[in-house]
Structure 1
């Protein structure tokens, strides 16, 4: 699939500015959409510049959706660029701000410098989470991201373990925000994503985010039976490549 098509479907998808003010989209829904690209070798700087220019197009159109940007810092996908929109209803993506104009601008400024990696959509699980920085437009400087792939038929057991972890975290007043997302479409399922807000490495001294420690002994068997694979990465937030609508 050409990157141009993704920009038509991804960056252009937003509620009409005239019908929905920026303030009304903040934390008004549970959708989380992620889009990832590999900047072409030797073109990383040009990709950043082109993407920054493309965001100006969205700003000029008064796009009411928030768009965050990260670079994956470690793990097997180090160097991957990820952008995402959080906190709006899924229905907001049934409306587009000038799709033709968006696609043309993306084709000029971004498409030549990157290859598509993936796109996926998630639903935030509020009852399992302790905070919602991205939905509330308060991104941290970095985020520790866990990807949990489950065995078929084990969602209930996994979520029982997460409920126990939530109860234990609720007693820790100094813990960073833990936000859980369940994959809706876009790859292997069942899969859950945990995003732990981090401002620096210092926060790892007090909170490792190891789920087997958080669930407690009563739910450790549920966790072990449900999880097939865990991958963990650090994502570094790029404020200069993000768009937070003016409130």
Structure 2
């Protein structure tokens, strides 16, 4: 058995158009996997055509969700080895002033969409088993100001991961989650535009910097490969020591 080998594995990544999802798509491609990535708009997946990645438009919060994409992949490849639930959305809003439509939007994208994607994948692969990697967040573990709804949903993803792992372990599914800390992506552009705030922010991280999306690739490949064959229902926290070290 070759540990950490994902060559020729069929991998579907939601929210693969930028940030962490894009880094995963490119990284798994470079490691030899056959990668499908989703976005919500045709223009958001345009870059994938020339990047050796199969791009698909899918809004998995509505109707059949990812079922159409999963069925297409299985029709072509017979199987789908790994689903990476990465799509997400954050809003920094005082809890008392969250608008109803924004609350439900965050719930739909960060939790309902992830849950429905897991459902669709399980139904398609229940005879063969498979691997699910849910992308949660360190904010699903610790409290953070102005992040009540997002944090709540990322905490829900953690508990969903553990519960699905318990329920589907007999069907040969491995289901784990990655909790990134604060990463240098488009989601944190606001901080980068304010040097003083950025310094204060980084000073609170033991590594004194944000993480890079590429630093999540190794753990994701570990979870997708046979190297983690005896692991399910677990949460990998990759946050530069933020939650593990008292400062």
TM-score normalised by the chain length of structure 2? 0.30
Structure with greater helix share of residues: 2
Larger Rg: 1
- Higher strand content, 1 or 2: 1
TM-score when scaled to structure 1? 0.30
Structure with more relative contact order (C-alpha pairs < 8 Å, separation 6 or more) = 1
